[in-house]
A and B are shown apart, each in its own frame.
Chain A
Amino acid sequence: MKFGKRLKQQIQETLPGWRDKFLSYKELKKLVRSISSAPTLLNGSFEYGRAEEEFVYLLNNEIEKFNAFFVEQEEDFVIRNKELQQRIQRVIDKWGPNGNHPSETDYKEEMAKIRKDIVDFHGEMVLLVNYSNVNYTGLAKILKKYDKRTGGLLRLPFIQKVLQQPFFTTDLISKLVKQCESTIDAVFPVEDEEKTREAREAIIVAGEGIFRNTVAALQSMQEIRRGSSTYGHFSLPPLNLPDSELIQSVQLNSPIPIV
């Protein structure tokens, strides 16, 4: 149930439009529990076959849901990525030091907006990768439960198939994320040590921002990957986060905005 709770939390913390796009882990778990592992009729394997059919069918539906959502988001990101780059270029060309109408104030103002937007954009993409991962994990878990419960052999071949699904092939998004990171490095002013330290004291995240989502996602991931009693060779090792103080120091409380 730990994963189920974590998943629920993630769903709550995630962007509103994404909430119904996650794995219906609880329902699937209920189904698995209700699937009788002891066939009661003579045609026992028939029983089993039907239950497995259903289960596979539902899983496929879920996968389809993921794929549809993922690919659509991906498309959006591809478009927005291009738009952002063009926007940056426009600002530089217009108000930049070598631009048509060099204007420091305008430039700074626009760049500030861009910075915010691009960081959020980066965050959203990362959240999509997280979405993919969370759902994969959920699928892997539910398959494991199924096999355990029914003694079936569904997991291994099925998961192979899942690995190739669009929603799990996140290479493009990761590439965009990296591109974004280098763009951000270019767009952000050089870091000033002292001022950085001051500004970082007690920054509290408010509202439903992307930041909040990513912090929640990271924390969640940490939790999920804490050692468990059903540790097996198909389990992931515990999460080892360097600088985990960073995460701890960001408290997900509501009211106080950054001053």
Chain B
Amino acid sequence: MEARPALSFQRPGAKQLSSMGMSGALSSSLPVLPTPLEETYPKLLDSQQVSMERELVTRPLNHASQLSSNSSVVGHMFSSSSGFSTDLHYSSLSPHEKHSRQSPFISQSSTNAASLPVTHSSGSLQSTASHYAKENSASWQTDSLSSFLDFPVNTPIENSQVESSSCNAALASEEFTKWADQLIADDDALASNWNELLGDTSVTDLEPKMVFPVSKSSPNFQAHQSQVPLQLPATSGEIHAVANPTSLANSAPAKPRMRWTPELHEAFVEAVNLLGGSERATPKGVLKLMKVEGLTIYHVKSHLQKYRTARYRPESSEGSSEKKLTPIEEMSLDLKTGIEITEALRMQMEVQKRLHEQLEIQRNLQLRIEEQGRYLQKMFEKQCKSGVDKLKTSATTLENPSTPSLDTVQESPAKSELDASQVDHGKTGTDPVNANTALEESSQELGGKHKVSEANDPENSEPDACESSSQPSKRPRTDE
């Protein structure tokens, strides 16, 4: 199913940034591009997307002037690694910003972007940011910093426990090359999109600031990106590259995520042994010997490193470098203690097995629940579409397209149907009753977004299924 969440067409580059844990200002500082949307989301089911798309087409024109400064923002963002706190700052700002602007998008995004470097300098990310700065062209950093100082900055600093600064430090060294590659490909996508969008010279302002040579071609990756392969059972050491099917699917180089399987690892070990053992084998040699398509030297390199660690320090690798005290410390045993220890281990095993069992069950349940929801949604889609078609021909008073109501109808019927079919939680009976009242509530609140009440009144003459299920997605909480 290709349904995307609303506004999932976002920034092409940001996906890669996010995949490397990069900060997200790119998303805010760049115009949301309708072009990629059209390319990769040919079937727009969601009406919100449709209306957003229309809005966005007009938006880019506002951005022409901002692009040059934004690009430097972008540059700076690339140079900083992201803890989640970065994103938080970004996110916590924007709601505040919402209510006071004239050209809302631009100033907000600039301000948002502006807040980030300030945060960086004050947060623990500073070291990694400066690390990146060294590797990147220095001109970026200074450019962007100076442009930031002009903006009023509102930085609530939330040093939550979420701040994954340690993670960033690790990122810094290992991932930089990968990140750089992605960045290059990102650039490509971005530049090409903007070209189409603006068709003027402002794009050239971007390129020098981006610095990275735009060499990789994005179209390949886009195709790759659209695949959603699950991890397939390995047959003979193939790479099961799972392209990351995030909602920002258009972001060009989804460096497909490498998932090592036991079979692949076997092939690896064989190759290493042929080359004289883990100490003597080189990544390049192993790569050549393995002859696995899609495997890069980076993959092999990091895997080899892990392999070496695991072999030559089996105790610490077992603990995955965690301090791990178990109940059983004493290793010199007489029989009695031995038995007790074994029994303790058995108990541990039981608990673990139990947990695993339950996890599997839970997972299957979750999968089935969602599957069912999806199925029902489709069914209602069909059913209501026929209803809406009739509606379209007759309704002349409707201001909005009737598709918004379709959405609410889609979502809620799935819910109400599941409700009816599954274990009764006491809500089923009350649903139809609450439907209309809740309907009014939500329609007032949501205002122009879902003109549900208007749309649904004429629709009440339509098939029952649609009518009774015309619940807003705000479910009434009747059990509370």
Please report A residues at the B interface, Cβ cutoff 8 Å.
Answer: 15-17, 19-21, 24, 26-27, 30-31, 34-41, 43-58, 60-65, 67-68, 71, 73-76, 78-83, 87, 108-109, 112-113, 115-117, 119-124, 126, 129-130, 133, 136-137, 140, 147-148, 151-161, 163-166, 168-172, 174, 176-177, 181, 184, 188-189, 191-192, 195-196, 199-200, 203-211, 214-215, 217-218, 221, 225, 229-237, 239, 241, 243, 246-247, 250, 257-259
Is B345's beta carbon under 8 Å from chain A? Answer: yes
CA distance A136 to B369 in the complex (A): 13
Chain B residues in 8 Å Cβ range of A60:
15, 18, 246-248
Is B157's beta carbon under 8 Å from chain A? Answer: no
B15-36: which have CB < 8 Å to A?
15, 18-19, 21, 24, 27-28, 32
Closest chain B residue to A204, Cβ basis: B327
A55, A56, A124, A164, most chain B CB atoms within 10 A: A56
Q: Are A112 and B333 in contact (CB under 8 A)?
A: yes
B426-475: which have CB < 8 Å to A?
427, 442, 445-450, 472-475
CA distance A96 to B310 in the complex (A): 24
Q: Are A147 and B356 in contact (CB under 8 A)?
A: no
Q: Binary interface profile of B, 347-370, with partner A (CB < 8 Å = 1, else 0)?
A: 111111111101110110111011
User: Lowest 5 CB-CB distances: which A-B pairs, in order?
Assistant: A207-B325, A199-B343, A233-B418, A209-B326, A157-B3
Is B84's beta carbon under 8 Å from chain A? Answer: yes
CB distance from B268 to the nearest CB of A (A): 9
Of the residues B4, B92, B167, contact of A31 by C-beta under 8 Å? B92
Q: Are A109 and B52 in contact (CB under 8 A)?
A: no
Given A78-B260, A116-B345, A124-B320, A232–B445 Cβ distance below 8 Å?
no
Q: Are A236 and B366 in contact (CB under 8 A)?
A: yes
B69-113: which have CB < 8 Å to A?
82, 84, 87-88, 90-92, 94-95, 98-99, 104-105, 108
Of the residues A49, A56, A195, contact of B247 by C-beta under 8 Å? A56
Chain B residues in 8 Å Cβ range of A229:
477, 479-480
Complex interface: stretch among B182-190, B289-297, B407-415 = B407-415
Q: Binary interface profile of B, 222-240, with partner A (CB < 8 Å = 1, else 0)?
A: 0000001011000000000
Closest chain B residue to A42, Cβ basis: B448
Given A109-B331, A211-B327, A57–B27 Cβ distance below 8 Å?
yes
Of the residues B245, B322, B359, contact of A126 by C-beta under 8 Å? B359
CB distance from B118 to the nearest CB of A (A): 19
Closest chain B residue to A225, Cβ basis: B362
Is B390's beta carbon under 8 Å from chain A? Answer: no
Given A49-B55, A199-B339, A206-B325, A246–B351 Cβ distance below 8 Å?
yes
Of the residues B230, B362, B414, B477, contact of A156 by C-beta under 8 Å? B414
Q: Are A67 and B338 in contact (CB under 8 A)?
A: no
Closest chain B residue to A196, Cβ basis: B343
Q: Are B355 and A160 in contact (CB under 8 A)?
A: no
Q: Are B348 and A234 in contact (CB under 8 A)?
A: no
Please report B residues at the A interface, Cβ cutoff 8 Å.
Answer: 1, 3-8, 10, 14-15, 18-19, 21, 24, 27-28, 32, 46, 48, 51-52, 55, 82, 84, 87-88, 90-92, 94-95, 98-99, 104-105, 108, 158, 160-164, 166-167, 228, 230-231, 242, 244-248, 257-262, 265-266, 269, 303, 306-307, 310-311, 314, 317-329, 331-333, 338-356, 358-360, 362-363, 365-367, 369-370, 373-374, 377, 407-408, 410-411, 414-415, 418-419, 421-423, 425, 427, 442, 445-450, 472-475, 477, 479-480
CA distance A171 to B4 in the complex (A): 25
CA distance A259 to B259 in the complex (A): 42
Q: Are A17 and B321 in contact (CB under 8 A)?
A: yes
CA distance A225 to B418 in the complex (A): 19
Q: Are B331 and A112 in contact (CB under 8 A)?
A: yes
Q: Are A52 and B7 in contact (CB under 8 A)?
A: yes
Closest chain B residue to A231, Cβ basis: B425
CB distance from A23 to the nearest CB of B (A): 9
Number of A-B contacts (CB under 8 A): 412
Of the residues A71, A82, A168, contact of B265 by C-beta under 8 Å? A82
Q: Are B94 and A50 in contact (CB under 8 A)?
A: yes
User: What are 23 A-B interface contacts by the 8 Å CB criterion?
Assistant: A17-B322, A44-B448, A45-B55, A48-B449, A50-B108, A56-B7, A71-B257, A108-B338, A115-B342, A116-B328, A123-B348, A129-B356, A153-B6, A153-B473, A161-B5, A169-B242, A171-B231, A176-B262, A191-B346, A199-B342, A200-B347, A208-B325, A234-B369
Q: Are A15 and B363 in contact (CB under 8 A)?
A: no
Given A54-B90, A74-B259, A151-B442, A20–B10 Cβ distance below 8 Å?
no
Given A136-B366, A188-B342, A250–B260 Cβ distance below 8 Å?
no
Q: Are A58 and B164 in contact (CB under 8 A)?
A: no
CB distance from A116 to the nearest CB of B (A): 6
Given A20-B162, A258-B328, A75–B306 Cβ distance below 8 Å?
yes
Q: Are A57 and B10 in contact (CB under 8 A)?
A: yes
Q: Are A27 and B160 in contact (CB under 8 A)?
A: yes
Chain A residues in 8 Å Cβ range of B362:
133, 221, 225, 236
Q: Are A56 and B8 in contact (CB under 8 A)?
A: yes
CA distance A248 to B257 in the complex (A): 41
Chain B residues in 8 Å Cβ range of A126:
352, 355-356, 359
CB distance from B227 to the nearest CB of A (A): 10
Q: Are B324 and A210 in contact (CB under 8 A)?
A: yes
Q: Are A199 and B7 in contact (CB under 8 A)?
A: no
CA distance A214 to B351 in the complex (A): 7
Of the residues B327, B363, B410, contact of A209 by C-beta under 8 Å? B327
CB distance from A203 to the nearest CB of B (A): 5
Chain B residues in 8 Å Cβ range of A140:
366
